[in-house]
């Protein structure tokens, strides 16, 4: 069993290095994407700490703004690198630099071996009530979104999200003449959690779909939080649905500031069936990662 971890990181070099070292075995490989906004010093610090490992590759870098398409380009960079360089891979696991395992490496390998041939990805047909705004998620696809480092602009809706009256005025005037986007034909839209673990045959399937449908891939340039829709749509339309397990292997808690896990979450982390958890911030609570190392891992 060979596991490739595709890690998207944008800060906290020491936390990223700790994550790689914790997951590192003779049967793992790491594809690391460092946000282009990461400074030169931090980049070389990480590179010098990990590059000597024979199982670490650093990917071509993209600028990754929250909710923007750069995250998709970074993720696909890893998929493409894995396929085109024939990296030994039974499973490709997408992670962030602020994730951490909550099961041992042996448990993770045994778990994936027991489900060999299956992929783990959360996907829901749209519209779906899990998105309480944006018409069940559909408006994230049918609006035009321009994402920058500091702002998100939506046409014809959500242009001035912080100023409701101005947003409503725009929607009822200029917004009426801006056509909504049409979802690519041949695909039914799906959305779900960003992080997935795909079997190699499904990694190849995603690669082939994007290679053969460049217009489909480019459609997501103007989608709000495209990382919750692109791969979910591809696999939601996959013909052999019995090969998919509709879940994420990540434990997440979003109903708190910054969605950062802390020491008070230790019992939930200990008892959950998930393999990984996010997110952790050593500047907020370093004790929880120490607890995971000493009690779970």
What mean pLDDT is reported for the chain? 92
Give the C-alpha separation, 281 to 279, whole Å: 7
Choose among 277, 261, 286: nearest CA to 12: 286
Q: Are strands 190-191 and 124-125 parallel, antiparallel or unpaired?
A: antiparallel
Supply the pLDDT for residue 177.
67
Where in the chain is CATH 3.90.550? 3-116+249-296
Supply the pLDDT for residue 180.
80
167 in Cβ contact with 159 (< 8 Å): yes
The DSSP result for 28-54, as a single string, is EEEEEEE-TTS-HHHHHHHHHHHTTST
pTM for the full model? 0.92
Supply the pLDDT for residue 257.
76
Residues whose CB falls within 8 Å of the CB of residue 190, separated by 6 or more in sequence, listed in order: 123, 124, 125, 126, 229, 232, 233, 235, 236, 237
Give the C-alpha separation, 31 to 263, whole Å: 29
The token pair that represents 216 in the structure block: 């489909």
Give the C-alpha separation, 177 to 107, whole Å: 55
In this predicted model, what pLDDT tens digit does every residue of 26-45 receive, in sequence order? 999 999 999 999 999 999 99
In this predicted model, what pLDDT tens digit does every residue of 121-179 receive, in sequence order? 999 999 998 888 778 899 899 988 888 887 777 776 655 555 667 666 666 666 666 77
Please tell me the CATH code under which domain 3-116+249-296 is placed: 3.90.550
| Phi, psi dihedral angles at 33 (to 5 degrees) | -110, 120
The token pair that represents 127 in the structure block: 């519209």
State how far the alpha carbon of 93 is from the alpha carbons of 38, 97, 195, 203, in Å.
Answer: 23, 13, 8, 10
Supply the pLDDT for residue 171.
66
């Amino acid at each position: 069993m060979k596991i490739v971890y595709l890690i998207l990181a944008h800060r906290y070099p020491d936390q990223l290095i700790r994550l790689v070292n914790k997951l590192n075995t003779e049967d793992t490989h790491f594809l690391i994407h460092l946000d282009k906004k990461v400074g030169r010093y931090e980049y070389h610090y990480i590179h010098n700490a990990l590059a000597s490992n024979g199982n670490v590759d650093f990917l071509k870098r993209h600028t990754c703004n929250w909710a923007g398409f750069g995250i998709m380009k970074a993720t696909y960079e890893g998929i493409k690198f894995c396929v085109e360089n024939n990296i030994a891979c039974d499973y490709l696991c997408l992670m962030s630099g602020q994730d951490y395992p909550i099961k041992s490496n042996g448990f993770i390998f045994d778990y994936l071996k027991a489900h060999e041939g299956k992929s783990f990805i959360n996907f829901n047909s749209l519209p779906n009530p899990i998105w309480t705004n944006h018409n069940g998620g559909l408006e994230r696809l049918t609006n035009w979104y321009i994402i920058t480092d500091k702002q998100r602009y939506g046409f014809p809706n959500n242009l001035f999200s912080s100023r409701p009256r101005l947003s409503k005025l725009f929607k009822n005037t200029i917004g009426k003449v801006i056509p909504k986007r049409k979802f690519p034909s041949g695909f039914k839209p799906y959305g779900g959690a960003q992080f997935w673990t795909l079997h190699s045959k499904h990694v190849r399937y995603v690669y082939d779909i994007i290679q053969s449908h460049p217009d489909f891939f480019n459609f997501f340039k103007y989608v709000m939080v495209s990382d919750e829709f692109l791969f979910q749509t591809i696999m939601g339309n996959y013909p052999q649905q019995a090969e998919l397990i509709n879940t994420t292997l990540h434990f997440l808690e979003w109903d708190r500031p910054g969605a950062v896990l802390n020491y008070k979450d230790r019992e939930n982390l200990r008892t959950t069936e998930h393999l990984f958890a996010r997110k952790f911030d050593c500047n907020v609570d370093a004790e929880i990662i120490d607890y995971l190392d000493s009690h779970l891992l």
